[in-house]
A = this chain, B = another copy of it.
Amino acid sequence: MIQKHVLLITCKDAQGLIAAISDVIFKMKLNIEIMREFVEEETNRFFMRCELSGDVDTDILLANLKAKLSDDCQIVINPKSKKDIVILATKEYHCLSDLLTRFFFEELGANVKAVICNHPNLGEFVGNFKVPFHYVSHENKTKHEFEVEILDILTGYKPDYVVLAKFMRILSPEFVSRYENKIINIHHSFLPAFIGANPYMQAFHRGVKLIGATAHIVNNQLDEGPILTQKVIEVDHNFNAKKLVETGHEVEKQVLAEACKLVFEDKVFVSGNKTIILK
C-alpha cells in the first residue's frame, strides 16, 4: 500500500516558496494529492498543508525541505495521526456524548484518555464508554486549588488537546498557558455577540432571530480566542429562554465536533487571534 503523508509548513512569505517545496517533493518522487496554501497579508506569513503519497524516508524529506527553506520555517511531517485528548465538562451531556460516541466508533480522530467533570452526574454515562471519569468538585476550593487538581490529573494523561465540552468555569491564564493553543472550547453564542455568562438569556432579552454557537481556541481573553467554527439556527418569539437553550444545544455539539475534526486532522493554523483553516 502506498504511504500517505501530511506536510505542514509555516514561514515568512517569500517568492519561490511553492516552487522550492514542490521541487523537493517531486525530486523525492512523492505525489501531491492535495496542496492548500494561504498568505496572510497583515502578518506576511505563508501557511501550507499538503497531502502526499509515495514511499519516502521522512527524515530525509525534512532535511531536504530545511535545506531549501529559511530558518524561521516551521515544518511538520506526519503529525501524530490520532491525538490524545482529555475532555472537561460540567453537567450537560450533549457535547460530551457526541465526542465520546465518535470516539467509541473510531471516528473522532482522537483517543479520549479521560473525562474530568466538576459535577458527578455524567460519571455513569462516561463509564459506559470505558473512559476514566474524574470528578473534581470546585466547591470549597480556591480557583487555584481547583485548577491544580485538574492540572495534576491532566499531566498524568499527557493530552495533545484539552476539549472543553461545556465546561462552565473560566480558566486562569496560568492554566491556559500550560496548554497554549491546545484548548478547544465551545461557547454557546455566536461570538462576539453575547460574551460572558448566560448568552441564551441575553439572546432572549435582545429578541434575536438567530442563535448560534462558536468553537474556539482558548487564550487569555475571555471568549476572544481564535474562532474555529460557528453555526446559527433560526428562532422566533415563541422561543423562551429554556427553548433557546435546548435549541442551542443542537448547534453547540455540531460546532464543537466540526472544530475538533479540523484540529485533529491538522487543518488548523493559529495566527494571532485568528485561525487559518486549510481543508
Contacts and interface: CB of A to CB of B under 8 A. Distances in A.
Interface of A: 15-16, 18-20, 22-23, 25-26, 29-33, 35, 37-41, 93, 97-98, 101, 104-105, 107, 125, 128-129, 190-194, 206-210, 212, 226-232, 236-238, 240, 246, 250, 254, 257, 273-277
A103 to B, nearest CB: 11
A130 to B, nearest CB: 9
Contact of A40 (B98, B105, B237): B237
A207 B41 contact: no
Contact of A35 (B30, B35, B208): B35
Given A18-B35, A190-B193, A207 B237 contact: no
A232 B210 contact: yes
A155 B53 CA distance: 49
Given A23-B23, A236-B277, A227 B209 contact: yes
A23 B16 CA distance: 8
A135 to B, nearest CB: 18
A207 B236 CA distance: 24
B19 A15 contact: no
Contacts of A273: 206-207
Nearest to A194: B192
15 contacts: A15-B31, A18-B32, A19-B19, A19-B26, A93-B105, A97-B105, A190-B193, A190-B210, A191-B206, A206-B273, A207-B227, A207-B275, A209-B227, A210-B232, A237-B274
Contacts of A206: 191-192, 227, 273
Contacts of A238: 38
A191 B9 CA distance: 37
A226 B192 CA distance: 19
A239 B55 CA distance: 25
A119 B195 CA distance: 37
Contacts of A232: 190, 210, 212, 232
Given A208-B227, A208-B230, A212-B210, A237 B39 contact: no
Given A192-B194, A193-B193, A209-B230, 17 more contacts: A15-B29, A15-B31, A16-B22, A18-B22, A18-B35, A19-B25, A33-B39, A35-B35, A41-B240, A107-B246, A128-B128, A207-B274, A208-B227, A209-B227, A210-B212, A210-B230, A237-B274
Contacts of A32: 18, 37
Nearest to A27: B19
